[in-house]
Amino acid sequence: MDQPEGRYHYQLMRRALEAIDASEVPLSLEALAGEMQMSTAHFQRVFSAWVGVSPKRYQQYLQLGQAKRMLNERFTTLETAQSVGLSGGGRLHDLFLRWEAMSPGEFAKKGAGLTVNYGWFDTPFGETLVMGTERGICGMGFAEEMGREACFEDLAQRWPKAGFVEKPAALHGWVKAGQEQSGETALHLIGAPFQIKVWEALLQVPSGHVTTYSEIAVAIGHPKAVRAVGTAVGRNPVSWLIPCHRALRKSGALGGYHWGLPVKRALLAWESAREEA
């Protein structure tokens, strides 16, 4: 995650996404490369390294109807996923992810007495702020849409009485495991009990698949609490590793995304393309 090419690839894909959105018709490889002011060969190499499929195929994943198609073809019923082990293809298995939640009493202290290390890392989706305690990663946010200062403030204000120390070396191993999907990534979930249940349900959604807010509500035993589930999804402090981007509205609309819809679209398209590849 700390490799500069990660940010370069994301910035390139962000520009490509903007070009695709601005065009009324699908763009050819030559047209996209021209928009990026790159040779077709260079653009194809960089694009394939980031996504693993052709620009033409990737554009299909970025189309507005893709979310509805994913609901039809890759919808995850969380209760079934757990019973048949479908989540074995998701982050919970791939990362050998272990997690523990802060107790309600600890949460009520708003981080008092807690030391949170933080560092900035390059990821496939731009510069990312990672925070963690001695127990594991407790925060991860994307700075591309809101900027560094706002991103830091957004995460830090969730635990206002904690002490924050810039110490990326303390987080590097967990971050590297998350990027490479090998080894072990530890998470320390700091939230209210209801939020923890929602975030735990999100961990059951496999990469390349999606679910809905209402499905999550059913899975945690509160079928009428769809709005509250949506709020808890939006307050997920560990983006990407706890895949809140895989939660969609029942209509197939993307819904909101705390770190910006362009990032959510890129995350879903990237995972879908890699699932197919």
Instruction: Give 105-130 pLDDT, tens digit per residue.
Output: 888 888 999 999 999 998 878 889 99
Give pLDDT, residue 70: 57
Helical packing angle, 261-276 and 55-62, nearest 10°: 130
pLDDT of residue 272: 78
Residue 73 pLDDT more than 70? no
- β strands within 25-167, DSSP E: 98-101, 115-123, 126-133, 136-142, 163-166
Look at residue 91 and tell me whether its pLDDT is greater than 50: no
What are the residue numbers of the active site? 244
| CA distance to 14, 23, 44, 172, per residue, from 56 (Å) | 16, 13, 11, 35
d(CA 2, CA 114): 26
Give the tens place of pLDDT for each residue, 146-191.
899 999 999 999 999 999 999 999 999 999 888 777 778 889 988 8
Contacts of 181 (CB under 8 A, 6+ apart): 94, 95
**Cα 108 to chain center, whole Å?**
27
Give the pLDDT band of residue 277 (cuts 50, 70, 90).
low
pLDDT average, residue stretch 34-44:
90
pLDDT of residue 6: 61
pTM equals: 0.76
pLDDT of residue 262: 81
Average of per-residue pLDDT values in the chain: 81
Distance, CA of 73 to chain centre: 20
Tracing tokens 């890699």 back to the chain, one arrives at 274
- Describe the strand order of the beta sheet including 126-133 as a list of residue ranges: 98-101, 186-189, 136-142, 126-133, 115-123, 163-166
Q: How confident is the model at residue 132 (pLDDT cuts 50, 70, 90)?
A: very high
What does DSSP assign to residue 86? Answer: G
Among 24-28, 89-93, 222-226, the range scoring the smallest mean pLDDT is 89-93
Tell me whether strands 136-142 and 98-101 are parallel, antiparallel or unpaired. Answer: unpaired
* Other C-beta atoms lying within 10 Å of the C-beta of residue 183: 12
Tokens of 109: 């202290």
